[in-house]
Amino acid sequence: MSENILEVKNLTKTYDGLEAVRDISFSIAPGEILGLLGPNGAGKTSTISMILGILEPTSGSITISPFLKIFLSLHFSTTYLTVNSVLSIF
């Protein structure tokens, strides 16, 4: 991994023989924004869940920069935060 904050290579997730994510690869450099678009069942949530470590990939690799790992390690008690709550974290 060079200077990318996130690299996903040949990521695949299979549920009981059904491929939810098939061989997806992408990288994100600092300052870039990535959007995952697709219909229901396209594998968007599975991809994000694998990046966050919630799901284990069937195959492929995910490389996360130490800078991004700091933010992924924050645990929130609720998904509904006020603006003041968000600002107090940083």
pLDDT of residue 68: 74
pTM (predicted TM-score): 0.73
In whole numbers, what is the pLDDT of the chain averaged over residues? 84
Judged against a pLDDT cut of 70, whether residue 77 lies above it is answered with no
Residues contacting 67, CB < 8 A, separation 6+: 5
Q: Per-residue b/e over 1-12, b at no fewer than 16 CB within 10 Å?
A: eeebbbbbeebb
Q: Domains in the chain, start-ordered, CATH in brackets? A: 6-89 (3.40.50.300)
Judged against a pLDDT cut of 50, whether residue 43 lies above it is answered with yes
Judged against a pLDDT cut of 90, whether residue 73 lies above it is answered with no
Q: Which residue has the higher pLDDT, 36 or 87?
A: 36
67: burial class by Cβ within 10 Å (0-12, 13-18, 19+)? exposed
Please state, in angstroms and rounded to a whole number, the distance separating the CA atoms of residues 79 and 87.
15
